[in-house]
């Protein structure tokens, strides 16, 4: 890489760090050598509980409220999500004509990210003609959190490891709230998924003998994290998408589903799509529907910045819930411990856990290590928040944000010069673009909204509570309990995308097309009326609102 | 540059129309600040997906600059436009049936041979990849080199949009990586072995025992599990 060109964001090449930040960095530099020799011990169960209870955002009561309608009535949800679930359909059911069907397919896949694409590929393997599948997606095929995953994917493929050890890590990390049949499927399918990837031509990081490079992730008992530099998600997504393109599986881009369609029994029989550019709707009739819309990071729960992709607005949860599917574990949100806190342009973007897996340690303003570098994510995030706001040992940025240092220069010191740039190419590029060299200076980080731990409840076949509706990937819940471990989300979309795709294909071979209605939406609206919900509230959201306040305050709708 | 309400601002031109925005925003955030709500030209907002390919000129500078809107800070006097889509030809293929040889890439993409080594692709790349170098490796049939040099490609298509030889570099590179990954990278024998063991049911008993444990027993197992150094 020719780094010279990367300075273009700062034509004057000034030091992006302020003098007070530099002062703190000097303390970090002074303690670096001894930090390489010593290690902060891992917390015991009681210490972990204390950090979580006091500092993790999930435990803040004012951030949640119980739902007033639908199958999860009474369950606590983040406020921002509750607002969307307790909302009327974006489209007035009486304004659409469901008798004119635009697409009649065996399998409709809602969402063109990892889970959706994997489910379509396995539906084809199951004997469904690609022409009889439709992937409907909000932005472009592959625009998804799947593309952004950096650190890697877990699989117990090494001699020293076993699916049982992986299982135990999953449920312990998830605070024993996981559906164990799902955790078992995740662990057991993992090596087979990697083998499938190899067959598709994914370039995993390997040793010369063909064995895969493996690192620890937070909360893993074995080195089980496999990667493709720190572009693991991108390498998987683009390869899987390439396969789908070769098979010519039809994709409707910029046409998100906005409502499911059901028959009089409540069976899911299709969906209503909305072309965001022409503003017309399309009616899709399908024998099976796979929900694969991903997560909700762009809701900015508790005002956190997010690592998530622009389209992560909980659309799938909204549609499935309105049709009667139950959700689970929605009271637990994953804040990734290390989001960028500086510079301003990249606040909230992910600094992969692989950075800590490679040896970098979080350090406070005084240059002191204060937490073991690979606690499970929720614990690590809680410890960073405690350091900044409980102990007031954070570093303040010019915009008033607080963070702690992630001491990245340790990596090349421990493993040799060039290690960082070779294995963490994305992070290196991300920071050097803004004039910070992570091999020379530490990075300022703070927890960022990263993952929806819960979702639509599924069983091990990827079936939801609704006949005809399947789900895979971040939109579903139960796999990770109350906290997902690193490297298990890429795995999740592959394992449950596959299982949902296979189940959807099997059903499509057995049933005919059903009648199409929006009765479920009308029924749900009645429940909202009874609960006294404001009629102006509509969902799904589709895209977040980031326009400037000045513009919005003077906006009028004429066209 | 000017001061408005005490904070520094810069003047930018969005498709020719002037807007004043706070200094330090990315191109993407500056357009949103100005009142644009994205549907096209936005994706991950983190430099992975290539959706926000953008071209711009600077006042008094004849050059056409390219970059990612989510990773580039606005400068005073920037004339901006975003590309909603970058068209480029892509060939379908069946990786299983493909005959792997030095000509695999040229067979599907004969336009590679039209490269005039102008280096525009390399200069265009927002990832700073050595694009022309991997095109040359592709012509020579060095699939591994193409795969490695192109690995960080985010497939924004800017190179293809600027190429006078009409080469779809990002699609050629995708093909090379898949051929390398499937046929040329060292085989993972341990993985095959593990999959066979799983298929033979070797871990079922152990897993089923765990699945059926009470929460308390699981907790005990978890807390006492052996951790690899």
CA–CA dist B56, A391 (Å, integer): 46
What total number of domains does chain A contain? 2
Residues 428-457 of A with CB under 8 A from B: 429-430, 433-434
pTM of the predicted protein model: 0.96
Q: Is residue A542 part of a domain?
A: no
Domain extent at residue A495: 88-332+453-510
DSSP label of B40:
S
Q: Which of B39, B43, B187 sits opposite A210 (nearest CB)?
A: B187
**pLDDT tens-place string over residues A524-536:** 999 999 999 999 9
Q: Is B61 on the interface with A (CB under 8 A)?
A: no
Q: Which of A45, A200, A245 sits opposite B223 (nearest CB)?
A: A45
Which residues are within 8 A (CB) of A451 and not within 5 positions of it... i.e. 6 or more apart? A295, A297, A333, A334, A336, A474, A484, A489
Task: Tell me the backbone φ, ψ of residue A463, rounded to 5 degrees.
Answer: -90, 140
Region B57-72: mean pLDDT is 94
Q: Work out the minimum CA distance from A29 to partner chain B, whole angstroms.
A: 26
pLDDT for the residue numbered A11: 57
- Residues A107 and A250 reside in one and the same domain: yes
Place of tokens 């004849």: B62
Q: Work out the minimum CA distance from A523 to partner chain B, whole angstroms.
A: 31
- Residues A167 and A214 reside in one and the same domain: yes
> Can you list the residues of chain A whose pLDDT is less than 70?
1-13
Beta carbons of A452 and A80 less than 8 angstroms apart: no
Residues 272-291 of A with CB under 8 A from B: 276-277
Q: Which among B87, B97, B181 is the top mutation candidate for probing chain A, defined by the most A β-carbons within 10 Å of its own β-carbon?
A: B181
Q: Is residue A73 part of a domain?
A: no
Contact B191 A187 (CB under 8 A): no
* B32: closest chain A residue by CA: A547
Q: Is B119 on the interface with A (CB under 8 A)?
A: no
- Secondary element (H or E) of residue A272: strand A268-274
- Residues A105 and A195 reside in one and the same domain: yes
Q: Is residue A515 part of a domain?
A: no
B-chain residues near A547 (CB < 8 A): 32-33, 35-37
Q: What is the CATH number of the domain that holds A264?
A: 3.50.50.60
Question: Which SS3 state, helix, strand or coil, does residue A509 take?
Answer: helix
CA–CA dist B115, A94 (Å, integer): 57
Question: Which SS3 state, helix, strand or coil, does residue A235 take?
Answer: helix
DSSP per residue, B154-220: ----HHHHH-TT---HHHHHHHHHHHIIIIISPP-HHHHHHHHHHHTTTTHHHHHHHHTS-HHHHHH
Q: Work out the minimum CA distance from A197 to partner chain B, whole angstroms.
A: 9
Q: Is B72 on the interface with A (CB under 8 A)?
A: yes
Question: Which SS3 state, helix, strand or coil, does residue A328 take?
Answer: strand
pLDDT for the residue numbered A240: 98
- Residues A195 and A236 reside in one and the same domain: yes
pLDDT for the residue numbered B216: 96
Mean pLDDT of all residues belonging to chain B:
95
Q: Which of A209, A221, A229 sits opposite B227 (nearest CB)?
A: A221
pLDDT for the residue numbered A2: 38
Q: What's domain B104-184's architecture?
A: Orthogonal Bundle (1.10)
- Residues A135 and A238 reside in one and the same domain: yes
B-chain residues near A336 (CB < 8 A): none
| Neighbour tally for A522: CB within 10 Å | 12
Region B163-174: mean pLDDT is 98
Nearest to B167 by CA among B93, B100, B105, B123: B105
Q: Is residue A505 part of a domain?
A: yes
Q: What is the CATH number of the domain that holds A352?
A: 3.90.700.10
Q: Which among B12, B33, B46, B203 is the top mutation candidate for probing chain A, defined by the most A β-carbons within 10 Å of its own β-carbon?
A: B46
Between strands A133-136 and A268-274, the pairing is unpaired
Q: Is B228 on the interface with A (CB under 8 A)?
A: yes
A464-484 as b/e, with b when 16 or more CB fall inside 10 Å? bbbbbbbbbbbbbbbbbbbbb
A102-119 as b/e, with b when 16 or more CB fall inside 10 Å? ebebbbbbbbbbbbbbbb
pLDDT at B222 over 70: yes
CA–CA dist A214, A282 (Å, integer): 46
- Residues A316 and A387 reside in one and the same domain: no
pLDDT for the residue numbered A3: 40
Contact B186 A206 (CB under 8 A): yes
Q: Work out the minimum CA distance from A287 to partner chain B, whole angstroms.
A: 28
pLDDT for the residue numbered B6: 55
- Residues A130 and A119 reside in one and the same domain: yes
Beta carbons of A146 and A490 less than 8 angstroms apart: yes
pLDDT at B2 over 70: no
Q: Which of B37, B40, B189 sits opposite A547 (nearest CB)?
A: B37
Task: Tell me the backbone φ, ψ of residue A504, rounded to 5 degrees.
Answer: -65, -40
Q: How confident is the model at residue B163 (pLDDT cuts 50, 70, 90)?
A: very high
- Residues A233 and A312 reside in one and the same domain: yes
A-chain residues near B178 (CB < 8 A): 200-201, 239, 242
Domain boundaries, chain B: 2-82, 104-184, 196-223
% of chain B exceeding 90 in pLDDT: 93
B192-202 as b/e, with b when 16 or more CB fall inside 10 Å? eebbeebeeee
Give the distance from CA A323 to its chain's centroid. 23
Beta bridge partners of A289: A108, A469
- Residues A107 and A185 reside in one and the same domain: yes
pLDDT for the residue numbered A475: 98
Q: Is residue A539 part of a domain?
A: no
Contact A307 B46 (CB under 8 A): yes
B-chain residues near A181 (CB < 8 A): 211
B-chain residues near A160 (CB < 8 A): 228
Say yes or no: domain B2-82 is CATH 3.10.20.30.
yes
Contact A6 B215 (CB under 8 A): no
* Active-site residue set of A: 377
- Residues A172 and A253 reside in one and the same domain: yes
Q: Work out the minimum CA distance from B114 to partner chain A, whole angstroms.
A: 25
Q: Is residue A372 part of a domain?
A: yes
A-chain residues near B207 (CB < 8 A): 163-164, 167, 184, 187-188
Q: Which of B94, B190, B218 sits opposite A158 (nearest CB)?
A: B190
Beta carbons of A516 and A260 less than 8 angstroms apart: no
- Residues A410 and A361 reside in one and the same domain: yes
Residues 90-109 of B with CB under 8 A from A: 90, 92-95
**pLDDT tens-place string over residues A440-499:** 999 999 999 999 999 999 999 999 999 999 999 999 999 999 999 999 999 999 999 999
Q: Is A344 on the interface with B (CB under 8 A)?
A: yes
Contact B42 A2 (CB under 8 A): no
- Residues A210 and A301 reside in one and the same domain: yes
The domain boundary, picked from A449, A484, A519, lies at A449
Q: Is residue A350 part of a domain?
A: yes
pLDDT at B147 over 60: yes
Q: Which among A113, A124, A139, A149 is the top mutation candidate for probing chain B, defined by the most B β-carbons within 10 Å of its own β-carbon?
A: A139
Place of tokens 């002062």: A23
Q: Is residue A445 part of a domain?
A: yes
Q: How far is CA A207 from CA A214, A226, A227, B139, in A?
A: 10, 12, 12, 28
């Amino acid at each position: 890489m020719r780094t010279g060109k990367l300075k273009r964001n700062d034509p004057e090449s000034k030091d992006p760090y302020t003098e007070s930040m530099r002062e703190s960095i000097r303390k970090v530099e002074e303690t670096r050598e001894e930090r390489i020799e010593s290690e902060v011990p891992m917390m015991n169960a009681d210490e972990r509980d204390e950090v979580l209870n006091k500092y993790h955002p999930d435990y803040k009561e004012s951030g949640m409220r119980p739902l007033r309608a639908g199958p999860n009535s009474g369950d606590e949800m983040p406020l921002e999500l509750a607002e969307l679930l307790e909302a009327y359909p974006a489209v007035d059911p009486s304004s659409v004509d469901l008798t004119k069907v635009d697409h009649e397919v065996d399998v409709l896949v809602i969402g063109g990210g990892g889970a959706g694409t994997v489910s379509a590929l396995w539906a084809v393997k199951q004997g469904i003609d690609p022409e009889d599948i439709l992937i409907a997606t909000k932005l472009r095929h592959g625009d998804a959190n799947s593309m952004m995953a950096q650190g890697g994917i877990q699989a117990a493929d090494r001699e020293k490891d076993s699916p049982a050890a992986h299982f135990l890590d999953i449920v312990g990390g998830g605070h024993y709230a996981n559906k164990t049949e799902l955790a078992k499927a995740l662990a057991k399918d993992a090596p087979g998924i990697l083998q499938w990837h190899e067959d598709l031509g994914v370039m995993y990081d390997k040793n010369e003998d063909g064995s895969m490079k493996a690192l620890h992730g937070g909360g893993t008992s074995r080195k089980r994290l496999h990667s493709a530099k720190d572009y693991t998600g991108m390498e998987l997504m683009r390869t899987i998408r390439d396969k789908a393109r070769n098979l010519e599986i039809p994709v409707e881009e910029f046409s998100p589903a906005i409502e499911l369609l059901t028959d009089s029994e409540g069976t899911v029989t299709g969906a209503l799509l909305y072309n965001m550019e022409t503003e017309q709707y399309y009616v899709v009739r399908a024998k099976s529907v796979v929900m694969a819309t991903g997560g909700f990071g762009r809701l900015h729960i508790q005002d956190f910045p997010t690592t998530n992709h622009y389209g992560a607005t909980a659309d799938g949860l909204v549609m499935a819930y309105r049709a009667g599917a139950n959700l689970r574990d929605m009271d637990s949100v994953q804040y990734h411990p290390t989001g960028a806190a500086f510079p301003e342009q990249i606040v909230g973007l992910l600094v992969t856990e692989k950075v800590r897996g490679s040896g970098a340690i979080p350090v406070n303003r005084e240059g002191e290590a204060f937490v073991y570098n690979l606690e499970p994510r929720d614990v690590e995030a809680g410890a960073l928040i405690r350091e900044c706001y409980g102990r007031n040992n954070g570093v303040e940025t010019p915009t008033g944000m607080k963070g702690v240092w992630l001491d990245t220069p340790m990596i090349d010191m421990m493993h040799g010069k060039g290690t960082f740039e070779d294995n963490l190419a994305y992070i290196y590029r991300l920071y050097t673009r803004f004039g910070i060299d992570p091999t020379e200076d530490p990075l300022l980080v703070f927890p960022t909204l990263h993952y929806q731990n819960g979702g639509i409840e599924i069983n091990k076949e990827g079936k939801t509570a609704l006949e005809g509706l399947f789900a895979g990937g971040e939109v579903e819940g139960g796999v990770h309990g109350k906290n997902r471990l690193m490297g298990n989300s890429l795995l999740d979309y592959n394992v449950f995308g596959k299982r949902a795709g296979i189940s959807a294909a099997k059903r499509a071979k057995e049933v005919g097309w059903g009648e199409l209605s929006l009765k479920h939406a009308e029924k749900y609206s009645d429940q909202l009326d009874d609960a006294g919900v404001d009629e102006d509230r509509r969902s799904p959201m589709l895209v977040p609102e980031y326009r400037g306040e000045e513009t919005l305050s003077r906006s009028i709708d004429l066209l | 540059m000017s001061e408005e309400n005490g904070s520094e601002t810069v003047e930018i031109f969005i498709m020719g129309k002037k807007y004043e925005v706070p200094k330090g925003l990315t191109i993407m955030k500056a357009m949103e600040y100005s009142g644009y709500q994205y549907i096209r030209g936005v994706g991950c907002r983190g430099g992975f997906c290539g959706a926000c390919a953008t071209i711009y000129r600077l006042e008094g500078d004849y050059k056409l600059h390219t970059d990612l809107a989510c990773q580039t800070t606005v400068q005073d006097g920037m004339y901006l436009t975003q590309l909603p889509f970058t068209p480029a030809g892509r060939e379908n293929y069946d990786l299983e049936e493909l005959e792997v040889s030095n000509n695999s890439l040229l067979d599907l993409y004969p336009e590679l041979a039209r490269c005039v080594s102008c280096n525009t692709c390399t200069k265009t790349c927002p990832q700073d990849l050595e694009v022309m170098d991997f095109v040359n490796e592709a012509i020579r049939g060095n699939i591994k080199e193409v795969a490695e040099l192109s690995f960080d490609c985010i497939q924004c298509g800017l190179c293809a949009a600027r190429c006078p030889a009409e080469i779809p570099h990002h699609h050629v590179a995708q093909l090379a990586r898949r051929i390398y990954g499937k046929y040329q990278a060292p085989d993972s024998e341990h993985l095959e072995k593990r999959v066979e063991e799983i298929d033979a049911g070797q871990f079922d008993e152990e897993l089923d025992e765990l699945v059926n444990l009470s929460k308390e027993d699981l907790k005990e197992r978890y807390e006492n599990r052996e951790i690899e150094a």
